[in-house]
């Protein structure tokens, strides 16, 4: 991983560059990093603010020999890597909100976007992109995000060296990924659960079609979200959003 790192000053989105490179046969482990993204994107077609030099805006190309149905596991794997590195570097205690948000003190500091190209039950490639808010001051966050977002600087009052953080993330990712390919998902799952919500926590599930109250029941072996609804049935979810009440 990271044998080939493409570093750009400013791009529309590192996801776009990564898809282009993957289609031109870029090898497994190719990394695209930008100092600034002019149209960074998040899940659900949302915008991702990626100010120049303030955070980590990175996409990686993976070509894992796993079933496309297991791709969600890689999002959760990435979340544990980011949580581990944030914790080991800053000593902050991150919380992972399924599937892909890293929260600190209940505010989002990082997000992950996984996009896959698969044909006939075979993965051609996966692009995993993540954004981490590192050195923004509170007044540098966009107005509409101030309530919901944070950065490592806001939480620690320190500036953090972006280059060293990236190195740490890539190293940790490589070790965790190799371990996953060799031993499968169980270890990632328990690590994820150690950073996730406690089971039984009351949450609101929002999907494109509906919204309902449920309680968090952990994650499934394929990386899906498990929730228990009011009538005590357990549902398995592959997409959607969680809202929760602060307790």
The separation between the first and the last C-alpha atoms of the chain, rounded to the nearest angstrom, is: 40
Per the CB < 8 A criterion, the answer to whether 242 and 217 are in contact is no
**Closer residue to ligand BTN, CB minimum distance, 129 or 223:** 129
**Closer residue to ligand BTN, CB minimum distance, 2 or 184:** 2
Q: Give Dmax over CA atoms of the chain in angstroms.
A: 52
Question: Any residues with CB less than 8 A from the CB of 231 and at least 6 apart, and which?
Answer: none
Q: How far is the CB of 42 from ligand BTN (least distance, A)?
A: 3
Question: Any residues with CB less than 8 A from the CB of 97 and at least 6 apart, and which?
Answer: 103, 108, 196, 197, 242, 244
Q: How far is the CB of 12 from ligand BTN (least distance, A)?
A: 8
Q: How far is the CB of 229 from ligand BTN (least distance, A)?
A: 25
**Closer residue to ligand BTN, CB minimum distance, 90 or 114:** 114
The closest of 199, 172, 178 to 85, measured between CA atoms, is 172
How many C-beta atoms surround the C-beta of residue 133 within 10 A? Answer: 29
- In angstroms, the CA 18 to CA 115 distance is 10
**Closer residue to ligand BTN, CB minimum distance, 129 or 218:** 129
**Closer residue to ligand BTN, CB minimum distance, 160 or 199:** 160
Per the CB < 8 A criterion, the answer to whether 107 and 97 are in contact is no
Q: How far is the CB of 19 from ligand BTN (least distance, A)?
A: 10
Question: What does residue 226 show for φ and ψ, rounded to 5 degrees?
Answer: -110, 130
Q: Which residues bind ligand BTN (CB under 6 A)?
A: 13-15, 37, 40-43, 46, 48, 50, 57-59, 100-101, 111-113, 129-131
Residue number closest to ligand BTN, CB atom? 111
**Closer residue to ligand BTN, CB minimum distance, 145 or 215:** 145
Q: How far is the CB of 241 from ligand BTN (least distance, A)?
A: 10
Q: How far is the CB of 152 from ligand BTN (least distance, A)?
A: 15
């Amino acid at each position: 991983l990271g044998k080939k790192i493409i570093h750009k000053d400013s791009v529309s989105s590192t996801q776009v560059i990564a898809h282009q490179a993957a289609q031109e046969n870029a090898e497994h482990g190719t990394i695209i990093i930008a100092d600034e993204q002019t149209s960074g994107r998040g899940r659900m077609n949302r915008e991702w603010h990626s100010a120049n030099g303030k955070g980590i805006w990175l996409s990686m190309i993976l070509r894992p020999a796993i079933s496309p149905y297991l791709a969600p596991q890689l999002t959760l794997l990435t979340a544990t890597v980011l949580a581990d590195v944030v914790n080991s570097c800053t000593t902050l205690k991150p919380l992972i909100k399924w599937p892909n948000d890293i929260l600190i003190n209940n505010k989002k500091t990082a997000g992950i976007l996984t996009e896959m190209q698969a044909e006939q039950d075979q993965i051609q490639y996966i692009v995993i992109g993540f954004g981490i808010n590192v050195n923004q001051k509170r007044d540098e966050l966009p107005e509409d995000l101030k309530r919901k977002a944070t950065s490592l600087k806001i939480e620690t009052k320190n500036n953090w060296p972006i280059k060293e953080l990236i190195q740490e993330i890539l190293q940790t990712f490589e070790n965790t990924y190799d371990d996953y390919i060799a031993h499968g998902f169980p270890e990632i799952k328990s690590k994820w659960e150690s950073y996730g919500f406690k089971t039984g926590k009351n949450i609101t599930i929002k999907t494109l079609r509906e919204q309902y109250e449920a309680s968090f029941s952990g994650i499934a072996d394929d990386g899906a979200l498990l929730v228990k609804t009011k009538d005590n049935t357990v549902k398995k979810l592959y997409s959607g959003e969680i809202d929760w009440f602060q307790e």
